[in-house]
Amino acid sequence: MLSELAHAVRSGTVTPLELVDEAIRRIEAGDGDIGAVVRLEAESARRAAADHDGAGALAGLPVLVKDMARCEGSVTTFGTTIHADAPPDDVDDAVVARLREAGAIVVGRTNSPAFGHAPFTTNLVFGATRNPWNTELSPGGSSGGSAAALAAGFVPIATTSDGGGSVRIPASLCGLVGLKPTTGSFGRNVLPRWIELSTQGVTGHTVADVTYQAEVVAGPAPGDWLSAPTAPGQFTPTRPARVLACRTFRADVDPVIEAAFEASLDALAASGLVVERIEAPCDGQSLIDWFFISSCELAHSLADERDRWDAFDDSLHEILRFGITVTTEDYLAATRRRHALGARIDDAIGAEGVLAVPTLNVQGWGPEGPTPSEAGSVEGDPTIGVNTPDLNLTGHPAVSVPMGVGDLGLPMGLQLVAPRWADGLALGVAEVLEQARPWPLLAPGYEPFPIP
């Protein structure tokens, strides 16, 4: 869709103003029951569209920016009351700047939990975002506002970021393709609160859209010691030598999700890919290590606001209180295990393999959380819900791709993990599944963004 829409603008078939007006119309008509868009910036978007020269890889395409990324001329609240009345940003985050440079036009901001801390999207400023597939449930987090907006067809582009699954979890729950790239692929011009865990990502309706957008926004940024030039063809979908399948990284998985996982593996095998079974290279300890590191870094980043922590959401307050108890020994021990985890995944997939695992082990949760602690035969395990943070620890690229709809009416996702700087191998498997088992591009009752 992205390349076709941009081509239509460049060829004069449609104008940027017509696309922006359509996005605004859709948001105003459809967001009341979802709460994905927390700020609609119609006037500035229309001015930008009227002055647009119709050029660029994303010429004239409306974009919503997650309320965690700086966006010149717009207030970034980070989903918190302490920033709700902040002045507008005077600079763009690197990814937002690259989208604008490619011709995209910002039309508003999408909801996020406070400082992106949760796998559900609600905060004390804007309330909860609901999943357009089932408004009684969450679109996930922390990029739930952007994913819900895409699943409802409000805009063709919405930015997402991922520090523990915040691209892949909402993509899974909203029937989208979500890429957490190799860490360092999308350079950062501002240090995130989770220093080495967080990266901007890409979420879209198709593998082609995700690939197209990734090639626009990828690249190093001054000052980001993790960033590096992307490898040639890094995002080009490519078939791997083999797919290594494990049913879960945790103690168990919901049987409905496992059945969808098996059907997806069968489809991949029928399409000519070699599928092999392996034991999981990750377990509950990986998530615990991620939590020690992430909570410590988040608490440290908010140390100057400590006298206002009591005003934060209860779930964020609990994380911060835990974070200040993490000792140097705790942090370094988790970091050393992080290195060993990366080596295990490297050994498992080699240079040309892709690891396949369900993105989530549970089918969904309420708009205000919490995530379930039961899956399959296991109960009372708070680490069981997601299979995503492990790859933030190791930096491997990971893609969530739809693999059917579960009993709750929500989509389910297959997570595909590739070697570092070989994101295209994961996208290649996603493309095979897309061709073998096409998925709905939007939630029921919503219309695709029109291509003239």
Token digits of residue 287: 């998530």
Choosing from 323, 343, 367, the residue where a domain stops is: 323
Residue 8's identity, in one-letter code, is: A
Same domain? For 195 and 93 the reply is yes
Residue 452 lies in a domain: no
Residues 105, 29, single domain; the answer is: yes
Rounded Cα distance between 438 and 319, Å, is 39
User: Domain check: are 257 and 312 in the same one?
Assistant: no
Find all residues with CB under 8 Å of 226, minimum gap 6, and list them. 183, 184, 188, 196
Identify whether residues 222 and 302 lie together within a single domain.
no
- Same domain flag for 265 and 210: yes
Instruction: Report yes or no on 448 lying in a domain.
Output: no
**Sequence-ordered list of residues with C-beta below 8 angstroms from that of 305, at least 6 positions apart, any chain:** 82
pTM value? Answer: 0.98
What crossing angle do the helices spanning 16-30 and 2-10 adopt, rounded to 10°?
140
Count of CB atoms within 10 A of residue 101's CB? 14
Whether 368 is covered by a domain: the verdict is yes
Evaluate whether residue 75 is within a structural domain.
Answer: yes
Range of the domain at 319: 288-323
The residue ranges of the chain whose pLDDT is under 70 are none
Residue-level pLDDT at 349: 97
Measured CA to CA in angstroms, residue 75 lies from 49, 138, 161, 194 at distances of 20, 25, 18, 21
CATH number of the CATH domain containing 122? 3.90.1300.10
How many domains does the chain contain in total? 2
Q: What are phi and psi of 91, to 5 degrees?
A: -155, 155
Together in a domain, 226 and 299:
no
Q: CA-CA distance, 438 to 221, in Å (whole number)?
A: 36
Give CA–CA dist 321/306, Å, rounded: 10
Phi, then psi, of 343 in degrees rounded to 5: -65, -40
Q: H-helix or E-strand containing 280?
A: none
Decide: 206 and 237 in contact? Cβ < 8 Å: no
Instruction: Give Rg (Cα) of the chain.
Output: 20
* In a shared domain, residues 121 and 189: yes
Largest CA distance in the chain: 61
Phi, psi of 44 (to 5 degrees): -65, -35
Residues 212 and 294 occupy one common structural domain? no
pLDDT at 175: 98
| 137 vs 114: CA distance, rounded Å | 19
**Cβ 82 vs Cβ 311: under 8 Å:** yes
d(C-alpha 97, C-alpha 95), whole Å: 5
Looking at 296, 323, 350, the residue that finishes a domain is: 323
Mark 230-251 as b/e (b = at least 16 C-beta within 10 Å): beeebbebbbbeebbbbbbbbb
| Distance, CA of 126 to CA of 81 (rounded, Å) | 10
CB atoms within 10 A of CB 54: 15
Residues 11 and 45 occupy one common structural domain:
yes
Q: Please give the backbone phi and psi of residue 439, each rounded to the nearest 5 degrees, phi first.
A: -115, 160
Which residue type, as a one-letter code, is found at position 390?
D
| Same domain flag for 13 and 104 | yes
Residue whose C-alpha is closest to residue 178's, from 414, 19, 428, 364: 414
Rounded to an integer, what distance in angstroms lies between the CA atom of residue 411 and that of residue 408? 9
Give CA separation, 408 vs 168, 256, 257, 440, in Å. 19, 10, 11, 16
| pLDDT score at 452 | 82
Sign of the dihedral through C-alpha 229, 301, 138, 86: negative
Q: Which of 276, 301, 323 is the last residue of a domain?
A: 323
166 within 8 A of 142, measured Cβ to Cβ: yes
Q: Position of tokens 């717009």?
A: 74
Residue 292 Cα to chain centre, angstroms: 21
Determine contact, residues 152/403, Cβ cutoff 8 Å.
no
- Beta strand pairing call for 275-277 and 242-245: parallel
Alpha carbon distance 37, 261 (integer Å): 32
Cite the beta strand spans of 408-448 per DSSP E. Answer: 411-417
Please name the residue that has the structure tokens 């996005």. 23
**CA distance linking residue 364 with residue 370, whole number of Å:** 10
